[in-house]
Structure 1
Amino acid sequence: MPTALITGITGQDGLYLAELLLAKGYDVHGVIRGQNNPKRELVESLLPDVRLHHGDLTDTSSLLRALRDSAPDEVYNLGAVSFVAYSWENAQLTTDVTAKGVLNMLEAVRLHTGDDPTHIRFYQASSSEMFGKVQETPQHERTLLWPRSPYGVSKVFGHYMTINYRESYGMHASSGILFNHESPRRGPEFVTRKISRAVARIKLGMQDELVMGNLDAERDWGYAGDYVEAMWLMLQQEVADDYVIATGETHSIRDFLDLAFAHVGIADWTPYVRQDPRFMRPAEVDTLVGDASKAREVLGWKPSVTFPELVALMVEADLAAAREGWK
């Protein structure tokens, strides 16, 4: 039975990845920050077979203890301060966790494996936000990185540090440059979930309006459940490498609004949506769309959930949750 250790297991990717690995017969362990973490109960209820370890990406000694106690064959570093808008409000914390945390995890793995650096296969969650002010379209593994937020800058640091440890120490360390991937488990602060949750509540008469920022930003949106499979596939390769994971399609936030409101029978959403400058980014990333041909050719990976299916899935889940809240 292979063993895996996941940081960031309380997030949407961590939950989906843990489910995938358990289904494949893995012994799954997760690193969770703080003894009173409010999301611990969620993990324990959804994933009772996962063993949790206290750890913090800013504390290398705690990561070494988690590695010692779990003895993993694979490490998936998904932990991060991942809300882009928040990264401007607290750039230092974002840097400590999302950038330096990758270095701490890599160093902990290196120290734990000793003379056999390939004993643990390592996955780093890189991000399409690294492309930022895009220099070519679509974006692929060799596209120049030009991040436009403290989060994006931090992800670039972690990405190149992973490459450096692979080249310096021979570690089996891969990075997945994942474009936007969503699900009903996405936090309500993220724009897609903010929309799906508001649409459900507006339909049920529980909310009057949805306040938004830039409606013209375009993203390559996929389903998180598909994307965690790509993570696993990367660590099954004989040679570590970096891969863009994306659908190859771009849609605007207006497109997302169109589909979400149409799903509940509202053809014209303009009376319900108001823009507010407070929700505009200081430096916007206008358009992201990924070229995942390398992942298709090498990993045999392709997305299974379409953009309209993703929007419908999220709205339906939030409708069910809102109705359940009435009971």
Structure 2
Amino acid sequence: MSDAPSTTTGKRALITGITGQDGSYLAELLLSKGYRVHGLIRRASTFNTGRIEHLYQDPHNPDARLFLHYGDLTDSSRLVTLIDKIAPDEVYHLGAQSHVRVSFDEPEYTGNTTGVGTTRLLEAIRMVGVDCRFYQASSSEMFGATPPPQHEDTPFYPRSPYGAAKVYGYWIARNYREGHNLFAVNGILFNHESPRRGETFVTRKIARAAARIAQGVDKDVYLGNLDAVRDWGYAPEYVEGMWRMLQADEPTDYVLATGTAYTVRDFAQFCFDHVNLNWQDHVRFDESYLRPTEVDALIGDPTKAEKILGWKAQTLPPELARIMVDSELSNRTV
């Protein structure tokens, strides 16, 4: 990857979804650059800040500041209040109901948070009149059934309520960019994983299973469609790309991807090979994990991001699988 834009200090950033995989890595990155980072979190009966707790005690960033605010993407008035209070220079909108399979079970909730929630946040920015730059976390799931490779001008054909909600969020961000002159960008990120990925997502599920089976804790793992083709990258690299998008001279939309294609079966083999096991001895099929409408292949073309932002993925799926399995073997997720 080429040299990054210069470090910026003194800026205020708001991250929705800060407790998730991407939010935690992005918070680390921004704190390392001297930002004051504000995060939106939902009130829950249990603590859900495990991915970011270490940031409060980071000895390498004694001057970094992290602030968490309770709020919800379904509460317009709260979003207006927070935007007015924080007056962010940059807003990274990562919050969503982000599990594709779950979106079939909760389509209305997914649309209300993942889709319309984006409008609420953009409208809060417009109403308050704060001068900020806005990042919308778009998704490769928007392409759905459109044949790969997929790039910024590829037509959308979502195959899930999640993908449809993300298409709505993509277009509403463009509308606020073109209609209200807001510096708004869509980051169309293909699958990106890490040890902080939620345990119900397939890559983390496989990596965790490989480690636990190697340690004699479990015997099998149950998966759905092994033939699905995905473009998997490493999440810490992708949040760097998010930040670069908001440092560009002009707002536009970018695909972030590795440009490589591997099946779920391939990823399982990488993980089990790393612990000297045959994946076929332990992977079992369970049709309950199949989607009502499958997405066969998502393979991104990141040429634009490399040309304009100087961003290029460094970690490919074989190495990514090793990183994730090693983390599971040492029982750490950060």
TM range (shorter): over 0.9
- Correspondent of 1:280 among 279, 290, 296: 290
Q: Do residues 193 (structure 1) and 204 (structure 2) align? A: yes
Asked whether the 8 Å contact 1:31–1:66 carries over to 2, the reply is no
| Matches of 1:137 and 1:285, distance apart in 2 | 11
| 1:242-261 equivalent positions in 2, closer than 5 A | 242-261=253-272
Residue 208 (structure 1) aligned to one of 219, 222, 230: 219
| Secondary structure, aligned partner of 2:291 | coil
Opposite residue 219 of structure 1, the aligned amino acid is R
Aligned to 2:43: 34
For residue 69 of structure 1, report the CA deviation from its aligned partner: 2.3
Gapped runs of 5+ residues in structure 1? none
1:120 aligns to 2:125 (yes or no): no
Contact 1:44 1:50 in 2 (8 A): no
Residue 59 (structure 1) aligned with residue 75 (structure 2): yes
Deviations 1:173-198 (A, max 9, x none): 00000000000000000000000001
Equivalent of 1:25 in 34, 43, 52: 34
Cα deviation code 1:279-312 (max 9, x no counterpart): 1110000001000000000111011212211110
SS at match of 1:141: coil
Counterpart AA for 2:291: R
> 5 Å matches for 1:17-166?
17-34=26-43, 36=45, 38-40=47-49, 42-47=51-56, 49-113=65-129, 119-134=131-146, 136-166=147-177
Matched residues in 2 for 1:80 and 1:140: separation? 23
Q: Is the 8 A contact 2:103 2:110 kept in 1?
A: yes
- 1:313 is the counterpart of 2:313: no
CA distance in 1, matches of 2:241, 2:221: 34
* Residues 119-176 of structure 1 deviation map (CA, whole Å, 9 limit, x = unaligned): 1000000000000001x42100010100000000000000000001100000000000
Q: 1:244 to 1:168 in 2, by over 3 A?
A: same
- CA separation of 1:124/1:164 partners in 2, compared to 1, >3 Å: closer, same or farther? same
Q: 1:8 to 1:165 in 2, by over 3 A?
A: same
Q: Which among 12, 18, 28 is matched to residue 3 of structure 1? A: 12
* C-alpha distance in structure 1 between counterparts of 2:86 and 2:257, whole Å: 31
Identity across aligned pairs (percent)? 52
Structure 2 residue aligned with 1:297: 307
| TM-score, normalization by structure 2 | 0.92
- Partners in 2 of 1:131 and 1:286 — Cα distance? 11
Tell me the matched-pair count.
317
2: distance between equivalents of 1:258 and 1:226? Answer: 24
Letter in 1 for 2:151: H
Whole-angstrom CA distance in 2 between matches of 1:281 and 1:41: 29
Deviations 1:230-255 (A, max 9, x none): 10000001211000000000100111
SS in structure 1 of the partner of residue 135 of structure 2: strand
Letter in 1 for 2:281: P
1:266-277 aligned at under 5 Å gives the runs 266=277, 268-277=278-287
Distance, in Å, in 2 between the alignment partners of 1:66 and 1:261 is 46
Q: Supply the AA of the counterpart residue of 2:316.
A: T
Contact 1:54 1:66 in 2 (8 A): no
CA contact under 8 A between 1:35 and 1:54: conserved in structure 2? no
Residue in structure 1 matched with residue 62 of structure 2 by the alignment: none
Question: Amino acid of the residue matched to residue 2 of structure 1?
Answer: K
What TM-score do you get using the length of structure 1 for normalisation? 0.94
Q: One-letter code of the match for 1:57? A: L
> Residues of 2 paired with 1:209 and 1:112: CA distance?
53
Matched with 2:246 is 235
Letter in 2 for 1:124: Q
For 2:261 and 2:51, locate their aligned partners in 1 and report how far apart those are by CA, in whole Å.
32
CA-atom RMSD in angstroms: 1.4
Q: Partners of 1:210 and 1:22 in 2: how far apart?
A: 38
TM-superposed deviation, 1:35? 5.8
Structure 2 residues without counterparts, runs of 5 or longer: 1-9, 58-64
- Tell me the amino acid that sits aligned with residue 3 of structure 1: R
CA distance in 1, matches of 2:170, 2:225: 28
Shift of 1:45: 3.6
- Distance apart, 1:41 and its partner CA: 5.2
| C-alpha separation in 2, matches of 1:68 and 1:203 | 51
Aligned partners of 1:40 and 1:311: how far apart in 2? 25
